[in-house]
Structure 1
């Protein structure tokens, strides 16, 4: 059975710097009928576990450690025995949500995560958060961008641990170099493509978000 991409939307809150907002998050499941990887265990471990069914969970991969993206990660790991993986630069953010439970493993730029006959390549894309990563799956013509790149531009950089010039450089060097037909599956909202977003790089820089 070939690898496929499944999509789940979970709802909850995002809190940082003293504010709290209601958010809907995209949870992505990459796998086949026997095994899968979850990208961003957001809000609801039970809903994600239900979507997995009886499949073996290879890993819970966190694109970054904002609480809306990692809130359900420990609970999902506990249910499935899968490791939670996070880039170490995001540990300060992780500890704000889970002070008593560390991630199980680290993500590094260029690392490959095999699942169901395909590979997810880790691209370190700091800016929205220091340890933000994207996951590129060329066999699936897809990059999972978390909150680094959305339909319409870069992720937010107005809060702690974020930086606008850094996110623009990450997008320019790590994402816009991918084939233009690559589908961009984001942490919130609608899917886009690299080709649709690439022409707007200078606009984002001029706008300064």
Structure 2
């Protein structure tokens, strides 16, 4: 089993604004099969990184367009279902009005790939249907835009809420083992133990 990262570049658009962004696309798998986490910007490049392995699913940590804009094309190329929490369908429709996800990332669902289990944790706040994927066997968390090195994801856009993201992080993420590696949606990795001491500072800054 291994975790691979592909960095893709494009734009994020919401509420009348557009920004240039680099996204982390994560591949969790072995030599035979792989789970793609957040198909951003470049379906051909992601498919090349898959390298002919069976794609068991295309998991979306949330449906902001920079995290899902390549998902339908990757699904068509690989035959894998796009998986999204139902609470983010409103954001999905902004990015893909005529496409629908192929399955639901309900809280507590387990995605099995390469002999390990990825547990779906519903962590709303950055987006209503935001999820993280926790892989206990690897000591790894795929946090999307919920938790970054240095603090929580942004909550200044529609469908986001600061108290909700703080509750999600404190109740669902900071309770994980301190050594858990956090693979984020943008930028560098961190660890749960590095972020946990700063919760009160985040709350103060948020107010």
TM-score, with structure 1 as normaliser: 0.98
- CA distance in structure 2 between the aligned counterparts of 1:22 and 1:100, rounded to whole angstroms: 25
| TM-fit CA distance, 1:154 | 0.2
| TM-fit CA distance, 1:88 | 0.2
Three-state SS of the structure 1 residue aligned to 2:12 is: strand
Alpha-carbon displacement from aligned partner over 1:152-176 (angstroms, at most 9, x marks no partner): 0000000000000000000000000
Give 1:39-118 correspondences, 5 Å limit.
39-118=37-116
Instruction: Give the length in aligned residue pairs.
Output: 207
Name segments (4+ residues, structure 1) moved above 6 Å. Answer: none
Match of 2:7 among 9, 23, 31: 9
Alpha-carbon displacement from aligned partner over 1:143-198 (angstroms, at most 9, x marks no partner): 00000000000000000000000000000000000000000000000000000000
Alpha-carbon displacement from aligned partner over 1:10-42 (angstroms, at most 9, x marks no partner): 000000000000000000000000000000000
Q: CA RMSD in A?
A: 0.5
Please, which runs of 5 or more residues in structure 1 have no aligned partner?
Answer: none
Please, which runs of 5 or more residues in structure 2 have no aligned partner?
Answer: none
Three-state SS of the structure 1 residue aligned to 2:47 is: helix
TM-score, with structure 2 as normaliser: 0.99
Three-state SS of the structure 2 residue aligned to 1:184 is: strand
| TM-fit CA distance, 1:119 | 0.5
- CA distance in structure 1 between the aligned counterparts of 2:9 and 2:177, rounded to whole angstroms: 32
Match of 2:154 among 146, 153, 156: 156
